[in-house]
Chains A and B, each alone.
Chain A
């Protein structure tokens, strides 16, 4: 059984006990524990089930690379699945539950898959779910969806907050082990701005566990000394619990800081995503130990040798009383020595190598009396939910059992792989290191910046340096080189620390144990523990033709689990290389992508949630609308009132009331959102003649003109009324959604094409609250306010004037989008609400009512006015809408002119705008298509038109619509058929689009 040792652990505070629960069971641990070490201390080896076969799973590692020990953490608003127990710090009251099992962790029905594993090889799903086709929708897809994913998605709203932080530095160093610390010390001494981030809660990495001596003292003393020096440097920022998640172009990097995961009740954000711009990035990300591929290597109790050592040294946890060590390198001997010194039994070390002499750690282990079998390996591990023993064989053979040894833990080591992820994210290349059987950064091909120079440098184990002295020296040299390239200088006395060298025998790559393992053994030798990919699966993929590593990965799901193959990748591709008789470097790796380990989605969203999810634009009258029954409609980022509900009336009734009231009495519309762009300069007239299809240069000062704007391709993009303010100045109204884009459109043409034209533009949209005062009583209301003359003679239709009304400084445009007598009045936004209230007061006995966007739409549709976005959709030209009158024939050019002369644009068969009147007075469904004779190649009915706008008109008491119809204007009076989606067929007559006051008498009074 696994248990806590009396010796205590390096990171443990045994005077600070904590209680926590696992699957509802109350357990105890200490401050300094991870959830994994605390569970192991309570003999809770079983922590989860694997994805495909529901195999029992326990920890295999002690850090970020852990594939197995994934749990649900927390509950309700703090529930989170797939959390690695190995990096979860224990805190008082922690709640964890296991995943992917039913009905319980100990007894799991899904484990039946294990017995079917012979029938569930690689690619099973691809093969199985192909046929019969009809099964996909109703059987296969629901089944796959049900079994997809280990954890469950949280259901409650996240209780925490998150944030970003933008940081800038000369040197970002990722990894706070001895290499990262040394790099930071060196860079810090040069005066460069340095950020050093470490993903765990401790500095120093695994060096203190692995021992040795630096500058004649202990590794721990060296770390403490270096830290003290770093803490004294003002130019160095140190962050624990902060993972370098990704490296991107131009020295951009993301670091993920976990602020309250270990103290959920603390104030402040839970995670902080650092968005860092660094002059150079040093990756001191260390290395990860590889498992060995032997039968039964996934049984709980089989663990990486370094992890087993970590649990003993750091947390005082023993995984078992008797541990068999199996290795292809010297490093794992440290585990045997550590266990022996802790008073635990190591019955045998199985070393796949045959070494000519005993030096270094091998010699030490033997001196401690540990039995060492050279040239041996594991044929298979015995046990189900726990290791009970190992069967020993010759590494060179096929697995014939030479001896069985009882044990309750196995420490395996297949060598070490540098963590090259961050080096690779932005294009750093790798080289195959034959001596260590691993991929290392190819220093000749770093990720390059805009200047063609590398902007990432690896340091220490991440660079393929494994001896302590090499690590320190490499980190020092890396930082020295980096700061020098950034024009900083190191003081002369800064030198790399010296570490004692250990004699070491070379490792021997072992990709299968034993070398000639039978199919039966290969079927039980796991590569990917989480996704259940075995040696046999990768070989099958190769056999079936998936020779590219990227294809084999997807076919077998190797490395596609939440750990992204940190343990399985190299073993998997070595297996693939073996099956293909190819060199490992020729097979290559799959692509390393950010983030290094999963980061919370909420940290990416940062502050963008709840109230601040996205900016919401409010007019100066927003608060009044809100207090007076506004039903909101989103228009771009604005909120505009769709209608103002009174009492218990329905929204539809409110709209009908508002429309009628505008025609009969007096309506007020908040038109503040409409774009207002000032265009000024000696060439402004010429410029606007290019922007608009009609003439704007001939507009007289004091007058207004409706204009159309097209894209280069001739399509209608915006419309609005333009007013000539003075000889040099025009004010262009745009649609609400067009304010920013049309402003940008104008700037683009002025800056890139007509840069020598003397024109300045300014977007003054938000300077004004603009209120449309509309209806037969409009003039009376304004006269009551008093001030400027608003009579027909003084201010005619399509004219504007500056003046005062009721003490407010105003500009009035006599323009109408409703067909009624209408004044659009602009006042400075800071006075908008007061002016609105003044209008309501004087209009009180004139039947004044505010109206919303839906009433606005109906009023304009009754008049046959088009709306950008309804009658246009990016494929419509003004000619389609019968707007030829607004296209100047006198001008040589305007944007879109040439495009509109192309054959497709002039084709008589283009659908054209008409009015549509239902034969029974009902309202056509929006977007409905008119069907013609016959069917097309796909067997669909031919279509000859579509509805672009449709409303119930309260003034006409019937449905009215506009639509684009084939040869429409030539077919007046014809009846078209529009099938609805509700089974009903609508019939409508083609009519003139102007339904109301065709002569325009009402607006011109």
Chain B
């Protein structure tokens, strides 16, 4: 098989008030089911390699992670090359119950927005309260990035990781670049 190619082949922009980088290929599995079900939780934790997140949160360790998407949906992350095996394993474990697990790794693009002004850049595009007291590493939001659906979390302070659909990767990158344009500091979170 060929080498996987991301939508923008790792595009990067460093001229603005935050750095924008397209992430490399990442394994992603959408799991829908009863999140209170023990077997499902166990299988999800095995696939994601981290503990179950609380509502509105995301647990991450490197490329491994689980994000809470809705009352009946999780997003499980893993290294891209492992996704088919992990999915098959997950599906086998859930075969008896009622759940749906599908590979969405290639349906997505990911971006990192980093720097002390990262919160401001995100605050120009997403209607989310990003005050450091209100949005912190570990929290997860499904929202929009200007005109497209997106989800994001903070793997650490000063870093946002964004997931959006692959087809709009170019738009996401461009709109982040506009939001981070030189001279556009807001001074809202850092005076």
A764 to B106, CA, bound (A): 9
Assess the B178–A612 pair: CB atoms within 8 A.
Answer: yes
Q: Is residue B88 within 8 Å, beta carbon to beta carbon, of the partner chain?
A: no
Contacting residue for A833 out of B5, B30, B131, CB 8 A: B5
Contacting residue for A828 out of B4, B131, B185, CB 8 A: B4
Residues of B within 8 Å of A835, CB to CB, are 2
Within 8 A of A (CB), among B96-144: 98-100, 102-108, 120, 123-131, 134
Assess the B102–A678 pair: CB atoms within 8 A.
Answer: yes
- Assuming the contacts A268-B182, A607-B179, A615-B148, asked whether A680 and B129 have C-beta atoms less than 8 A apart, the reply is no
Q: Is residue B48 within 8 Å, beta carbon to beta carbon, of the partner chain?
A: no
Residues of A within 8 Å of B1, CB to CB, are 807-809, 831
Residues of A within 8 Å of B169, CB to CB, are 618
Assess the A614–B147 pair: CB atoms within 8 A.
Answer: yes
The segment out of B39-47, B50-58, B160-168 that lies at the interface is: B160-168
Residues of B within 8 Å of A834, CB to CB, are 2-3, 5
User: Would you give the 0/1 interface string for B138-156, flagging 1 where the beta carbon is closer than 8 Å to chain A?
Assistant: 0000000011100000000
A766 to B186, CA, bound (A): 35
Contacting residue for A275 out of B127, B175, B191, CB 8 A: B127
Chain A binding site: helix, strand, loop or mixed by DSSP?
mixed
Q: Is residue A857 within 8 Å, beta carbon to beta carbon, of the partner chain?
A: no
Q: Is residue A267 within 8 Å, beta carbon to beta carbon, of the partner chain?
A: yes
A586 to B183, CA, bound (A): 52
Looking at the assembled complex, report how far the CB atom of A137 sits from the nearest CB atom of chain B, in whole angstroms: 40
Within 8 A of B (CB), among A609-625: 611-612, 614-620
Chain B binding site: helix, strand, loop or mixed by DSSP?
loop
Assess the A830–B4 pair: CB atoms within 8 A.
Answer: yes
A275 to B188, CA, bound (A): 13
Assess the A608–B147 pair: CB atoms within 8 A.
Answer: yes
Q: Is residue B7 within 8 Å, beta carbon to beta carbon, of the partner chain?
A: yes
Q: Is residue A165 within 8 Å, beta carbon to beta carbon, of the partner chain?
A: yes
User: Would you give the 0/1 interface string for A594-612, flagging 1 where the beta carbon is closer than 8 Å to chain B?
Assistant: 0000000000001110011
Report the interface size class on chain A: 35 or more
Q: Is residue A401 within 8 Å, beta carbon to beta carbon, of the partner chain?
A: no
Q: Is residue A767 within 8 Å, beta carbon to beta carbon, of the partner chain?
A: yes
Q: Is residue B59 within 8 Å, beta carbon to beta carbon, of the partner chain?
A: no
Assess the B106–A766 pair: CB atoms within 8 A.
Answer: yes
Contacting residue for A762 out of B30, B124, B134, B174, CB 8 A: B30
Residues of B within 8 Å of A607, CB to CB, are 124-125, 146, 175, 178-179
Q: Is residue B65 within 8 Å, beta carbon to beta carbon, of the partner chain?
A: no
Assess the A163–B178 pair: CB atoms within 8 A.
Answer: yes
Within 8 A of B (CB), among A750-783: 758, 760-762, 764-768
Q: Is residue A168 within 8 Å, beta carbon to beta carbon, of the partner chain?
A: yes
A919 to B93, CA, bound (A): 65
Q: Is residue A8 within 8 Å, beta carbon to beta carbon, of the partner chain?
A: no
Assess the B134–A168 pair: CB atoms within 8 A.
Answer: yes
A420 to B98, CA, bound (A): 58
Q: Which residue of B lies closest to A269 (CB)?
A: B184
Assess the A161–B166 pair: CB atoms within 8 A.
Answer: no
Q: Which residue of A lies closest to B182 (CB)?
A: A267
Within 8 A of B (CB), among A669-718: 678, 680-682
Assess the A766–B131 pair: CB atoms within 8 A.
Answer: no
Q: Is residue A4 within 8 Å, beta carbon to beta carbon, of the partner chain?
A: no
Assess the A166–B107 pair: CB atoms within 8 A.
Answer: no
A163 to B3, CA, bound (A): 38
Assess the A615–B131 pair: CB atoms within 8 A.
Answer: no
Q: Is residue A128 within 8 Å, beta carbon to beta carbon, of the partner chain?
A: no
Q: Is residue A237 within 8 Å, beta carbon to beta carbon, of the partner chain?
A: yes
Q: Is residue B23 within 8 Å, beta carbon to beta carbon, of the partner chain?
A: no
Assess the A764–B104 pair: CB atoms within 8 A.
Answer: yes
Assess the A266–B107 pair: CB atoms within 8 A.
Answer: no
Q: Is residue A193 within 8 Å, beta carbon to beta carbon, of the partner chain?
A: yes
Assess the B105–A828 pair: CB atoms within 8 A.
Answer: yes
Q: Which of B84, B98, B104, B126 has the most CB of A within 10 A?
A: B98
Looking at the assembled complex, report how far the CB atom of A746 sits from the nearest CB atom of chain B, in whole angstroms: 13
- Assuming the contacts A612-B175, A809-B1, asked whether A268 and B124 have C-beta atoms less than 8 A apart, the reply is no
Residues of B within 8 Å of A277, CB to CB, are 129
Assess the A163–B174 pair: CB atoms within 8 A.
Answer: no
Assess the B168–A617 pair: CB atoms within 8 A.
Answer: yes
Q: Which residue of A lies closest to B72 (CB)?
A: A760
Assess the A618–B6 pair: CB atoms within 8 A.
Answer: no
Q: Is residue B170 within 8 Å, beta carbon to beta carbon, of the partner chain?
A: yes
A168 to B147, CA, bound (A): 20
Assess the A608–B131 pair: CB atoms within 8 A.
Answer: no
A275 to B130, CA, bound (A): 13
Assess the A768–B106 pair: CB atoms within 8 A.
Answer: yes
Q: Is residue A140 within 8 Å, beta carbon to beta carbon, of the partner chain?
A: no
Q: Which residue of A lies closest to B167 (CB)?
A: A617
A166 to B186, CA, bound (A): 11
Contacting residue for A168 out of B72, B84, B103, B129, CB 8 A: B129
Assess the A829–B171 pair: CB atoms within 8 A.
Answer: no
- Assuming the contacts A612-B174, A766-B106, A829-B106, asked whether A237 and B100 have C-beta atoms less than 8 A apart, the reply is no
Q: Which residue of A lies closest to B80 (CB)?
A: A830
Contacting residue for A165 out of B131, B148, B188, CB 8 A: B188
Residues of A within 8 Å of B72, CB to CB, are 760
- Assuming the contacts A615-B148, A766-B167, asked whether A164 and B124 have C-beta atoms less than 8 A apart, the reply is yes
User: Would you give the 0/1 interface string for B75-103, flagging 1 where the beta carbon is closer than 8 Å to chain A?
Assistant: 00000100010000000000000111011
Residues of A within 8 Å of B183, CB to CB, are 266-269
- Assuming the contacts A161-B178, A166-B124, A614-B147, asked whether A619 and B167 have C-beta atoms less than 8 A apart, the reply is yes
Residues of B within 8 Å of A768, CB to CB, are 106
Q: Is residue B33 within 8 Å, beta carbon to beta carbon, of the partner chain?
A: yes
- Assuming the contacts A161-B181, A760-B100, A807-B1, asked whether A612 and B171 have C-beta atoms less than 8 A apart, the reply is yes
Q: Which residue of A lies closest to B102 (CB)?
A: A762
Assess the B100–A615 pair: CB atoms within 8 A.
Answer: no
Looking at the assembled complex, report how far the CB atom of A559 sits from the nearest CB atom of chain B, in whole angstroms: 34
User: Would you give the 0/1 interface string for A802-838, flagging 1 where the beta carbon is closer than 8 Å to chain B?
Assistant: 0000011100000000000000000011110111000
Q: Is residue B32 within 8 Å, beta carbon to beta carbon, of the partner chain?
A: yes
Looking at the assembled complex, report how far the CB atom of A766 sits from the nearest CB atom of chain B, in whole angstroms: 4
Q: Which residue of A lies closest to B32 (CB)?
A: A760
Residues of A within 8 Å of B123, CB to CB, are 165-167
Residues of B within 8 Å of A760, CB to CB, are 32-33, 72, 98-100
Looking at the assembled complex, report how far the CB atom of B132 sits from the nearest CB atom of chain A, in whole angstroms: 11
Residues of A within 8 Å of B179, CB to CB, are 163, 607
Residues of B within 8 Å of A164, CB to CB, are 124-125
- Assuming the contacts A638-B167, A828-B4, A831-B1, asked whether A764 and B186 have C-beta atoms less than 8 A apart, the reply is no
Assess the B181–A608 pair: CB atoms within 8 A.
Answer: no
A578 to B127, CA, bound (A): 49
A834 to B131, CA, bound (A): 44
A164 to B104, CA, bound (A): 31
Residues of B within 8 Å of A638, CB to CB, are 167
Residues of A within 8 Å of B174, CB to CB, are 611-612
- Assuming the contacts A163-B124, A807-B1, asked whether A268 and B181 have C-beta atoms less than 8 A apart, the reply is yes
- Of all A-B residue pairs in the complex, the 10 with the closest CB atoms, nearest first, are A268-B183, A267-B183, A834-B2, A830-B4, A829-B106, A760-B100, A617-B167, A766-B107, A168-B129, A615-B171
Known: A165-B123, A166-B127, A767-B107. 12 other contacts (CB 8 A): A165-B188, A166-B124, A166-B128, A168-B134, A277-B129, A611-B174, A612-B178, A617-B167, A619-B167, A766-B106, A829-B166, A830-B80
Q: List 30 A-B contacts (CB under 8 A).
A: A161-B181, A164-B124, A164-B125, A166-B127, A166-B129, A168-B129, A266-B183, A267-B181, A269-B181, A607-B125, A607-B175, A607-B178, A608-B147, A615-B147, A619-B167, A620-B166, A678-B100, A681-B98, A681-B100, A682-B98, A762-B102, A766-B106, A807-B2, A808-B2, A809-B84, A828-B4, A830-B4, A830-B80, A831-B106, A834-B2
Residues of chain A whose beta carbon lies under 8 Å from any beta carbon of chain B? 161, 163-168, 193, 234, 237, 266-269, 272, 275, 277, 606-608, 611-612, 614-620, 637-638, 678, 680-682, 758, 760-762, 764-768, 807-809, 828-831, 833-835
Residues of chain B whose beta carbon lies under 8 Å from any beta carbon of chain A? 1-7, 25, 30, 32-33, 72, 80, 84, 98-100, 102-108, 120, 123-131, 134, 146-148, 165-171, 174-175, 178-179, 181-186, 188, 191
